[in-house]
Amino acid sequence: MARDTTDQTPIQSVGELADYLAGGCKPESAFRIGTEHEKFAFFKTDHSPVPYFGEASISALLTGMQKTLGWEPIMDGGKIIGLAGGSGQGAISIEPGGQFELSGAAVETLHETCKESNQHLAMLREIAEPMGIRFLGIGGSPKWSLAETPRMPKSRYEIMTRYMPKVGSHGLDMMYRTCTIQVNLDFSSEADMRKKMRVGMKLQPIATALFASSPFTEGRPNGYRSWRGEIWRDTDNARAGVPAFTLNDDFGFADYVEWALDVPMYFVVRDGRYHDCTHITFRQFMNGALKGEIKDWEPTLGDWTNHLSTLFPDVRLKRFLEMRGADGGPWRRICALSAFWVGLLYDQDALDAADALTASWSHADVIALRNAVPTGGLDAPLAGGTVYDIARETVSISRGGLKRRGRLNGEGQDESVFLGSLDEILAKRTTLADDLLSLYKGRWNGSVEPVFDEYQY
């Protein structure tokens, strides 16, 4: 999320919170695709991380992008922390360890998504090159320790950094040493949201396996194909994972609200200042818990939307759905991640097929799969076979959905062309993580340094 919201509309009742989510329902003709991707910034001379301050820095990159794009700078304590495009142009933000993120515009086709990502990376390279900065597209920081990783001066992250070690063993790793690709998709009704949420939650581990690209930590193999996937198993389980109620046949907006109300808050923003609220839940906030602690203690719609952005289930519900299971990856994987989910969720036949494919999976089955995939990847056991078998079937369903959508580029190609990198994975039966480990054991001679040169954007 690029900017924390400051909508001052007062909240009068819990029902309004569900109504807010329901306000995301839109006709299928208005469905859009919003793609986000993060990447690690590093100096090409020694592969060290890029700090926030300095002539060659994260702040200098943001300032350079601002001058080029003309977007509005987002400030926090007088420091630039992001850019807002306005008029649906998307946003640029920084993650806690300096990971550079594009939150793409809401577009109609995957062809537009891929063009947008390409243009962003080309512009960023142009600005970064004179500073000696490059970008790495994989899911986990392969070299730097937490102590070596810079910290961005963002108030929200300061609160999270203090809080994370209290609620899980990997929260700081998640914040500072992971990158993801995410796609945000729409729904037409509560029933449509329910089915997409159910399918998305169940198949998120399949995406984790297909996009696994985080096998290194601090210069050596970490024992995982998706270290990022393992990190999410113990980051803050009160707000993350696969809440069982999201798989229920009667799941709705009100159920998500009731869950969210009892998750501890991170903060409220008043007059540009962030107040640490990790000691209360949103329900307690609505019941007056901050009265006497801060001046404007009554909850607002801005507080609610900010709180929703601090929840981390594998599929996050806002006024759209966020698919959150994939590691970061090279440019083609950005397009492929969006294609995978658009094909599955934006065609009714594909959505029905994916729902039928996973119909027998219980919540316990999904959790077991989620636990097995970070280590096992495509080889993890599933339903008498392996994840590979389901991944192959799922990609086939997605391809059918994309072909039926019939959105063609100027050369007459439909959107299924963006599944090509997944076809390669399935044909070889090896993920990017597997490829990286083979290189490490072979041509790279037990070093992770070449990853910065061979897998940079």
Distance CA(423)–CA(426), nearest Å, equals 5
Measured from the Cβ of residue 153, the count of other Cβ atoms closer than 10 Å reads 18
Q: What is the pLDDT along the chain (457 residues), one digit of tens a residue?
A: 445 766 889 999 999 999 999 999 999 999 999 999 999 999 999 999 999 999 999 999 999 999 999 999 999 999 999 999 977 789 999 999 999 999 999 999 999 999 999 999 999 999 999 999 999 999 999 999 999 999 999 999 999 999 999 999 999 999 999 999 999 999 999 999 999 999 999 999 999 999 999 999 999 999 999 999 999 999 999 999 999 999 999 999 999 999 999 999 999 999 999 999 999 999 999 999 999 999 999 999 999 999 999 999 999 999 999 999 999 999 999 999 999 999 999 999 999 999 999 999 999 999 999 999 999 999 999 988 999 999 999 999 999 999 999 999 999 999 999 999 999 999 999 999 999 999 999 999 999 999 999 999 9
Task: Give the Cα separation of 418 and 397 in Å (integer).
Answer: 14
Dist CA 342 CA 334 (whole Å): 13
pLDDT attached to residue 383? 84
Q: What is the DSSP letter of 123?
A: H
Assign 170 to helix, strand or coil. Answer: coil
Predicted local distance difference test score (pLDDT) of residue 5: 66
175 contacts 97 by C-beta, under 8 angstroms: yes
> Pick from 134, 105, 130: which is nearest to 121 by CA?
134
Q: What is the pLDDT of residue 377?
A: 98
Measured distance CA(361)–CA(208) in Å, rounded: 17
Per DSSP, 30 falls in state: G
d(CA 21, CA 170): 30
Classify 288 in phi/psi space as left (phi over 0), alpha (psi -120 to 50) or beta.
left
Of 303, 226, 298, the C-alpha closest to 6 is 303
Tokens of 38: 């993060």
What separation, in Å, do the N-terminal and C-terminal C-alpha atoms of the chain show? 22
Domains and CATH numbers, the chain: 14-454 (3.30.590.20)
DSSP summary character for residue 275: E
Q: What is the reported pLDDT for 3? A: 59
Q: Are 235 and 170 in contact (CB under 8 A)?
A: yes
Give the per-residue pLDDT at 2. 47
Which letter, b or e, does each residue of 410-449 get, where b requires 16 or more Cβ atoms within 10 Å of its Cβ?
eeeebbbbbbebbeebbeeebbbbbebbebbeeebeeebe
What whole-number distance in Å separates Cα of residue 231 and Cα of residue 239?
Answer: 14
Query: What's the rounded Cα separation, in Å, for the pair 6 and 178?
Result: 28
Angle at 113 between CA 111 and CA 116, to 5 degrees: 110
Task: For strands 216-217 and 220-221, give the pairing.
Answer: antiparallel
- Among the listed residues 180, 154, 286, the one whose alpha carbon sits nearest the alpha carbon of residue 235: 180
Number of residues assigned to the chain: 457
Number of H helices, E strands in the chain: 17, 17
CA–CA distance from 160 to each of 12, 87, 116 (Å)? 28, 30, 31
DSSP notation for 306-370: HHHTT-EESEEESSSEEEEEEEP--HHHHHHHHHHHHHHHSSHHHHHHHHHHTTT--HHHHHHHH
Distance (Å) of CA 15 to CA 45, 177, 336, 382: 55, 38, 38, 40
